[in-house]
Amino acid sequence: MLTITITSLSGGQGKTTTALFLGRLLSRQGFPTLMLDSDPQHNLTTYLGFELEPNQPTLLEFLKKTVTPEDCIYPTSYNDNLFLIPADDQLDTVQDYLSNSGVGATLLKRRLEAVAKIFKVCIIDAPPQRSQICLTVIGAADYLVIPAEASVKGYGSLVRTLDLLGGLRDVGATNAEVLGVLPFRDRWFGNTQAQESRAAVEGMRDEVDAGLVLPSIRESERYKQAINKRATLSELGYTDLEYPFEILIEKIGKLIGSK
């Protein structure tokens, strides 16, 4: 199973949007896909239309190993290839458990080994803060996708995320590599890119290999429409807006084929 964590150390960078569309498209192409919501705000769980009943196991129980892994994995209504380990507000309580375990950064990676033969790919939606949960989802990753708003704030988020990844790699807590940086909410006026967006994207290319900076997700209400209607962009007739995700999926498909 190829594990990809969608992470960026600020809110509003497009992490959940990226995870959602990427997971849907991968599953639609026939890859058995596990989505993992690791954000206590649990937006991915909500966007996938999953409503937790009282006492249903979530990522919290998956991490603490209080139930079998299969009890925490749920089918989604989107298609037969898309599954979810959900989150709820209680996920925040796992921070001390991870901190005191002594293996917090590698704990999720170990837990996922139990289901690695069931799925081809796991997409993890990370929380926006540097926290014990954030450390363990980066520790579990083979690759990171880093969405970053095409703005000064987004550029700063990318720099902090890369610094965190470098620190974790230095101490052997992860071997994850950057699969791509995804400029998010790139502002254009007709055929002219906004000055702040252009400067931010150029800055992103200076921070990583320019080939890792993916085509931008342009500022558009179409993404929100697709989320609200629980559909892909192409299903709503906006195929051109899926192009950044198609590039990512091409990369992911090659990596899956090489495993």
CA–CA dist 159, 214 (Å, integer): 16
Question: Is the predicted pLDDT of residue 81 greater than 70, yes or no?
Answer: yes
Question: What is the CATH number for 121?
Answer: 3.40.50.300
**CA–CA distance, 166 with 38 (Å, rounded to integer):** 21
Q: Is residue 95 within 8 Å of residue 133, measured between CB atoms?
A: yes
Give the range of the structural domain holding residue 132, as residue numbers without chain letter: 2-258
Contacts of 42 by beta carbon, 8 Å cutoff, 6+ apart: 86, 87, 88, 89, 91
pLDDT single digits (tens) 226-246: 888 888 888 888 888 899 999
**What average pLDDT does the segment 30-56 reach?**
93
The answer to whether the CB of 115 falls within 8 A of the CB of 1 is yes
Q: Over the stretch 168-226, which tens digit does the pLDDT of each residue have?
A: 999 999 999 999 999 999 999 888 999 999 999 999 999 999 899 999 998 888 888 88
Please report, for residues 71, 219, 224, 243, the alpha-carbon distance to residue 228 in angstroms, rounded to integers and kept in the order given.
28, 17, 6, 20
What's the rounded mean pLDDT across residues 81-102?
Answer: 92
With 0-12 / 13-18 / 19 or more C-beta atoms within 10 angstroms meaning exposed / middle / buried, residue 17 is: buried
Does residue 164 have a pLDDT over 90?
yes
CA distance 127 to 189: 31
Q: Which two tokens stand for residue 121?
A: 């790919």
At residue 131 the predicted structure's pLDDT band, cuts being 50, 70 and 90, is: very high
Tell me how far apart the alpha carbons of residues 91 and 14 are, in angstroms, rounded to a whole number: 21
User: Based on the structure, what is the number of domains in the chain?
Assistant: 1
Q: What is the mean pLDDT of the chain?
A: 93
CA 218 to CA 213: how far, in whole Å?
14
Indicate the pLDDT class of residue 259, thresholds 50, 70 and 90: low
